[in-house]
Structure 1
C-alpha cells in the first residue's frame, strides 16, 4: 500500500488531489474535507498559511467572477411582475475584465426596491432599464438583489413611448423628444455611469 504524501506550498494540484489530513491543516478556499482527509476541489497552487494552520488552493487561471453578497452589479430589466423584477446581470462593478460565471438572471423583490412602501413594481422599473444594485443573496437561483440606497436604482432609461433616452428632472424622468414624464427608483448616479 503506497502512503499518501501531503501537498507542499506551491504544488500544482488538480480537483480530487490529496492534500493532507485535518490534523495538519484546516480546509481553506478550494479545499474540501472527506473522512478527515483534505482534497483539492479546483486546479491551482497549494497555499499553506502556517499562522492559521490553513491549506487552500489558489486558482492559476483567472476564473470568471461569481457575484457575492455585498457586490454592486449592473443589470438590465428583462421583466416586471407585480411583486418582483427579473434582471439580466451585465457585470460586477470593479470586475469589468471578465464575464460573470453564473446564470445571468437575478431578481429584485418588491420589498428590496426602496425604503418604505412600494405600491407597484411598474412605477419603479420598466423593461430595458439599466440598474445598479447590491447582491443580497446568491445561494439559490435567481440571485437576489436590492436597490435600497441613494446610489442604487435605475442609471439609464428610455422613454416607454418613443424610446428616446430620458433626462432626469428632480425625482422624475422627462423625454426630451415627446415630453412624456415617467417615474423610476432612480439612482443618484443616473446617466453618470458609462454603461
Structure 2
C-alpha cells in the first residue's frame, strides 16, 4: 500500500476501506481497496480517516468541457473506466496531454444499457471521448454519443502489427461480427 507522499498512479492501491475511506481523487475497488484515480502523491487524513491523492502538477492545461479527448484505457473497474489521455481537440486546436488521466462512469458509456464495462472496454484499447466536466476531482469523460467509444482495440492493433500493417483503421463499432 502507498506511503504518505509516495507517487501513485491511476490504479495504485492506497489502503483498504477498513482503514481509510476514499477521499479526493480516490475510489474503492471491487476488493475493498482504496485506489488512486490520478497521478499524484498519497495523503492520509487521520482526522477524517480519508485517503486522498494530491494531483501532480496543476489542473490539466487545454482540457475543457466539450473537448474531444483521445486516450488509452489503463484500468477497467465495475462502474468506472480510467483513461490515460494523450490528445485533446477543441475548436480545431489539438493539444498533447502528458501524465493525466480521466474517468468514464458506467452511466456515460453508452445510450444502451451497460451490464459490464468489460463488454465495452479492455485495458490497452484506444478511445475517443467527450469531456463532460473538469473539476477538482479530475476529468470526467463520456462515450455515449455517435462517433465516440473504442476506436482501436488492443487486439486489433496487435493483429495489425503482426500482419505488418501499421495503419490504424477506425474500428466502426464495439461488436465483433461473425460471418
Name the TM tier (shorter chain). Answer: 0.5 to 0.7
Cα 1:170–1:142 shift into 2, 3 Å: closer
> Please, what TM-score do these two structures have when normalized by structure 1?
0.49
Tell me the equivalent position of 1:99: 96
Tell me the equivalent position of 1:172: 175
Which string of whole-angstrom CA distances, capped at 9 and with x for unpartnered residues, describes residues 79-113 of structure 1? 100111001010112433x4337x51100000000
What is the Cα-based RMSD across aligned positions, in Å?
2.8
Tell me the equivalent position of 1:150: 146
Structure 2 residues not aligned, in runs of 5+: 1-59, 161-168
Structure 1 residues not aligned, in runs of 5+: 1-63, 175-180, 182-195
Which string of whole-angstrom CA distances, capped at 9 and with x for unpartnered residues, describes residues 13-61 of structure 1? xxxxxxxxxxxxxxxxxxxxxxxxxxxxxxxxxxxxxxxxxxxxxxxxx
Task: Report if the CA contact (8 A) 2:83-2:102 is conserved.
Answer: yes
Cα 1:95–1:173 shift into 2, 3 Å: farther
Cα 1:70–1:86 shift into 2, 3 Å: same
CA distance in 2, matches of 1:88, 1:170: 21
> Please, what TM-score do these two structures have when normalized by structure 2?
0.53
Deviation at 1:116, TM superposition (A): 2.8
- Structure number with higher helix proportion: 2
Q: Which has the higher contact order (CA 8 A, sep 6+)?
A: 2
